[in-house]
Structure formats: C-alpha cells, structure tokens
C-alpha cells in the first residue's frame, strides 16, 4: 500500500515537473493521470495491490472537494446579490452539457454495440 | 488563565479540530444520504459544505484558519486525480474502439458547457467578472482556476462555482438522463465527467465502476479542451 501511494505521488510529481518545464495548460495531477494511464496500458495489467489502493482513494473522492467548497464563505456577499442568475445559469448550463454529451455519445456508439 | 481557556487556545491553534470536524460532518452527511435512499438533493458534498459554512460563521472562524486543518484532505485531490488512471486503464480496449465518438461527444459537450453559460449568464445580466469566473465551471478546480486567472475572472470565486457545478451535475445528471430514457452507463458516465468533473465522477462511481471510469476520462479530456477553448471564445466574443 505504501508502494502504491508512493507511485501515485511520483506520477503526480512527474506531471507537475513536466507542466512547469513546458508551460502546458494542464494541471500536474491531470498530466500525472495521463502518464499513469499510458504506463498501465503499456504494462498490460494493473497489480492488484495498486488497483485496491487507487480504488480505496477514489471511494472518498467526494470528501476531497469539501475544503474547497467551504471557500464559498468568502463570496457569500456576491453570491447573495446574484444568487438567482448564478443558480439558473449553473443549473441550465450543466443540464444542457450533460444531455448533449450523453446523447451525442450514445447516438455515435449505439449501432456498434447493439 | 483557567484550564478551559487553555484547552480552547490549544484546539484553535492546531489543525486537528477542523480536520476532525470536516471528516465527522462528511461521515454524518454520507450516513444521512444512505439512510434516506440516496435522495439526490442530500448530496454529501452539498450538505457538508452548508453545515461547515454555518459552523464557521457561528464561531467567527476565518476560512484561512479552517483551511489550515482541512488542507490535508484537499491535498489528496492530487493523488486521487492520478488514481483515476486505474479504472480508465481497465477500459483501454473499449477506448481504442470508441475514440472517434468520444472525441466528437467531448467537443459537443465542452462547447455546450461554455457557450450556454456565456449566453444564459449574459442574458440574465450577470456581472461580467462573475460571468468570466463561471465560464470554466465544468472542469476540475485547478484547471478552472488557471483559466479564470488567464481571462480576468476571480480564481477563488471560480473554485466555488466549479464545486457548485459539480454538485449540480451530481444531483440532476443521472435522474435527468433516466427521465429522458438514456440508460447506457458509458454515455451517462462520460457526460457526468465532461459536465461535472470530479464531483460528477464521484457520483458516477456510485452508479457503476464502468460509468465512473468513463466519467474520469470525460473529466480529464474536458479539462484539457476547456483550457484551450475558453480563452479562444472570450477573445472571439470580446468579453
């Protein structure tokens, strides 16, 4: 498990370093994810200890967003002034994005799968 | 100074209190969510944020003091993002097969997320700085904050709008698609990741591992595309 955590952190570190060296418009962890994905695909199979540790971490993914979410406390004034427009825009735009993405993908893949 | 005051001074100075409280509140929110049959509006992230904001307000605690403790949780977002490669690699064969539909759906969804926020927010008269902060709302927090800074929004407001978008997607996404008759876990998961980043992905994993894997893919790809798309659209429309 320690080895798995170290691997995740090393891939993140590699991502951060490459982003800083190249100025790529991506956060380090996302590049780290891409690098790890390539490594796992090239290797052919994921060691089960590593898979378990990663899944363990992903089980708590939702919790990890709470500290940043509490940051809303610094913008309560602005949010109170514009809450209706912000809410309508967020909900409508998110709903549209979900529906457009899901139906586009289904329309393009359903023939191949059925 | 009496002992109680001494203890309070100690508690206030260590990161322990806010770290422990964040975990407790989230655990309780998760219990509540499960006990009440996974009712969408009781999303554990949403409930935890509301409870913690009330506690901070009630005790007059500045966000920076809270974050001193909570940063240990926040830090794990990095390795968790890297870990998304694991479920994704398990779908490698299918990815190879569907790379073209995925590319097209990604582009359509990413454009919809940004352009619809731009049009609706503008039509509703949002303050231009709020609007700019909102454009990268569908992508994971670190990318969104970088984009907001680049186009003249407020990065920390963006962080909050990103979380709110994620919660919105997690709450309405799957019920909405079910209502419209879409049951394919791949399309559902991918759409959750494109529109609602990591929080949508956390919700997609609850649905199934396959949906979660595609959600992680959608989140990663849309992060990269939005970073290129938003500055371009802002420049085109002269915002």
pLDDT digits (tens, 9 = 90+) for B4-58: 888 877 777 778 899 999 999 999 999 998 898 777 778 888 899 999 999 999 9
Q: What is the pLDDT of residue B180?
A: 95
Query: What tokens does B58 get?
Result: 């009630």
**Res B112: pLDDT:** 95
Flag whether residue B63 sits within 8 Å of chain A, measured between CB atoms.
yes
Show the tokens assigned to A107: 């329309």
Domains of chain B: which residue ranges?
1-75, 90-239
Mean pLDDT for chain A overall: 88
Separation CA A25–CA A15 (nearest Å): 12
Are residues B144 and B137 in contact, defined by beta-carbon separation less than 8 angstroms?
yes
CB B207 within 8 A of CB B200: no
Q: Tell me the pLDDT of chain B averaged across its residues.
A: 89
The span from the CA of B51 to the CA of B32, in Å, is 13
- Residue showing tokens 């590699």: A14
Q: What percent of chain A has pLDDT over 70?
A: 95
Query: What tens digit of pLDDT does each residue of B135-188 get?
Result: 999 988 877 887 887 888 888 788 889 988 999 999 999 999 999 999 999 999
Give the long-range contacts of residues B30-34, CB within 8 A, separation 24 or more: none
Chain A residues with CB under 8 Å of B220 CB are 30, 33-34
- Nearest neighbour of A100 by CB, restricted to B25, B108, B168: B108
* Helices and strands of chain A, counted as H and E runs: 5, 0
Q: Is the ipTM of this complex over 0.95?
A: no
Write the DSSP string, A61-73.
TGGGGHHHHGGGG
> How crowded is the C-beta side of B118, counted as CA atoms within 13 Å?
19
């Amino acid at each position: 498990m320690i080895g798995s955590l170290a691997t995740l952190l090393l891939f993140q570190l590699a991502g951060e370093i490459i982003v800083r060296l190249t100025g790529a418009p991506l956060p380090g962890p996302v590049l780290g994810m891409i690098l790890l994905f390539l490594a796992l695909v090239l290797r052919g199979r994921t060691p089960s200890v590593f898979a378990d540790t990663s899944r363990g971490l992903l089980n708590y993914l939702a919790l990890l967003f709470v500290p940043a979410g509490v940051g809303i406390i610094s913008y309560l004034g602005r949010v109170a002034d514009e809450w209706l427009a912000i809410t309508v825009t967020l909900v409508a735009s998110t709903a549209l994005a979900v529906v457009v993405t899901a139906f586009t993908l289904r329309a393009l893949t359903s023939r191949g799968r059925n | 100074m009496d002992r109680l005051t001494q203890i309070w001074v100690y508690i206030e100075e260590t990161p322990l209190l806010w770290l422990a409280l964040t975990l407790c509140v989230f655990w309780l929110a998760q219990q509540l969510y499960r006990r009440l049959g996974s009712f969408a509006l009781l999303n554990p992230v949403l409930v935890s944020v509301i409870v913690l904001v009330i506690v901070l307000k009630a005790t007059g605690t500045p966000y920076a003091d809270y974050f001193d403790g909570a940063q240990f949780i926040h830090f794990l977002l990095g390795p968790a993002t890297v870990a998304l490669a694991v479920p994704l690699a398990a779908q490698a064969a299918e990815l190879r097969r569907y790379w073209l539909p995925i590319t097209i759906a990604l582009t359509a969804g990413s454009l919809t997320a940004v352009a619809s926020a731009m049009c609706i927010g503008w039509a509703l008269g949002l303050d231009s700085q709020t609007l700019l902060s909102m454009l990268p709302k569908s992508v994971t927090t670190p990318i969104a904050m970088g984009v907001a800074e680049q186009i003249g929004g407020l990065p920390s407001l963006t962080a909050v709008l990103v979380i709110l978008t994620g919660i919105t997607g997690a709450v309405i996404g799957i019920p909405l698609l079910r209502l419209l008759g879409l049951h394919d876990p791949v399309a559902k998961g991918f759409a959750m990741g494109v529109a609602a980043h990591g929080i949508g992905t956390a919700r997609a994993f609850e649905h199934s591992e396959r949906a979660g894997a595609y959600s992680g893919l959608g989140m990663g790809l849309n992060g990269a595309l939005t970073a290129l798309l938003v500055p371009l659209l802002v420049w085109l429309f002269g915002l």
